[in-house]
Structures are given as structure tokens and as C-alpha cells.
Amino acid sequence: MKKSVEGKLSSLSLAERLRERIANGIWVPGTQLRQDLIAKEFGTSHIPVREAFVQLQASGFVTIVPNRGAFVSAMTTFEAAELTEMRVALELLALDAAIDAFGADDEAAARAILERDENAHEVEHWSIDNWAFHRAIYQACGKRHLLETLEAIWRKTDRYLRLVWQLERYQQTSLGEHRAILDAVLARDRRAAKRLTKAHIEAAGAVMRDALREARRG
């Protein structure tokens, strides 16, 4: 088989490439994903493509319809609200466990992300750094399964949050909220840190739902 310039990919890395296209809006909801075309583009057989589809279905990016194929999953206000509720519940749990253990290395990691975002102008950068900032706060909790679950929720939420980050003015709002959260964590002010984090997540959720409604009207 003729290899593409990108070479052959494992199903995991292929799934990541396809996920990025969906998250970036290159493939819009409802788009049919053709195994043969994707296999040809990436220089691989159909098997890794099918495995990538299964992985993407598990994370909510793809819907596999028997006898019809794989399609980019729809984005709904109901799912956006559900993901927001899950983020609030689990991130506050992680924050509560992390705040007393948060140390100098954790602070340095969080501040480096904030400084990088000061000069970032691409949605892709904001997407990567947004979760990186929150993860820098929560990783001190030491709860591996909780962090893995949050990572999975963030992957599903990423498609929705990119609608929010297309509004550049919201990125500045988000940055300010991140700084306030970090200040509260450093002050060991548990109540303020949890209140600010909850408000931050819920505000983003409201903008997500508004963006979806606006997209439907458009």
C-alpha cells in the first residue's frame, strides 16, 4: 500500500487527528466519515480507521449507525448543560482535594500557562491551555481516577468550548477568572476558590448554550 506523507498511524493517534478536525469545525455535525477516503489519506488500512471511529464514538465525537457508517455527532444544548453540571461536580471535588496540597511547582505551572495565554490568539492554543490550567490546579489532589474522568469530560466539552473561544472577548474574561481562581487557591481560601470555579464553569456553559442556539438560527 502506498504510504501518505504522514505515514501510517496507530488507531489512537489517528483518532486524535480526526478528533481535532471535528473539534475545529472542519467536519461539522452530520458529516459522514468515509473509511476508504480516510484510510487513503493517512496511508493505512481500514482496520485502524474503524478502531478510531469506535474510540471517537466512546468520547462522543462520532455516531456509528449500523449499515450506514460513521457520522460526526450532533452538538446539543442538553449535552452542553449535562457536561457543565458534570464539570461543576467533579472539578469542585478535585479542587477541594487539591487546595491544601497545592505547592510551588503547581503554582509555577499554572502561572506559566497564564503568561503564555496573554499572547495567544488562536482557538487551538486557548483550547489546550484552558484544560492545562485547570489540570495544573487539580493535579495536586493525587486522585488518578478522578483526573482521568475529568480528562474524558474535557475532551467531550472541547467542541463546545471552542464555540465560546471564537468570541475573543470571552478569552479575556476567562483569563481574568483563571487569575482570580489561582489567587484564591494560593490564599488557601477554599470557599472563594470553589465559588469562583463554579461561577467560571457555569458562565462558560451559558455562553456555550447561547452559541449553539445562535448557530441554529444562523
**pLDDT tier at 4 (50, 70, 90 boundaries)?**
very low
User: Quick one: three-class SS letters along 100-138?
Assistant: CCCCHHHHHHHHHHHHHHHCCCCHHHHHHHHHHHHHHHH
pLDDT at site 5: 35
**pLDDT tier at 9 (50, 70, 90 boundaries)?**
low
Q: Nearest-CA neighbor of 87 among 132, 34, 151, 33?
A: 151
- Residue 109 corresponds to which amino acid? A
pLDDT at site 212: 83
CATH 1.20.120.530 placement within the chain: 77-217
Averaged pLDDT of the chain: 88
DSSP string, 53-109: HHHHHHTTSEEEETTTEEEEPP--HHHHHHHHHHHHHHHHHHHHHHTTT--HHHHHH
Q: How many CB atoms lie within 10 A of CB 68?
A: 9
pLDDT at site 11: 60
Domain 11-72: assigned CATH number: 1.10.10.10
Cα angle 199-201-204, degrees, rounded to a multiple of 5: 105
Domain 77-217: assigned CATH number: 1.20.120.530
Quick: pLDDT tens for 71-123.
999 889 999 999 999 999 999 999 999 999 999 999 999 999 999 888 777 77
CB of 175 within 8 A of CB of 110?
A: no
Q: Nearest-CA neighbor of 181 among 191, 166, 168, 169?
A: 191
Q: Which residue has the higher pLDDT, 48 or 161?
A: 48
Distance in angstroms (rounded) separating the CA atoms of residues 108 and 133 = 11
pLDDT at site 215: 67
CB of 9 within 8 A of CB of 44?
A: yes
CB of 39 within 8 A of CB of 6?
A: no
Distance in angstroms (rounded) separating the CA atoms of residues 137 and 59 = 24
CATH 1.10.10.10 placement within the chain: 11-72
- Average pLDDT, integer, range 148-152: 93
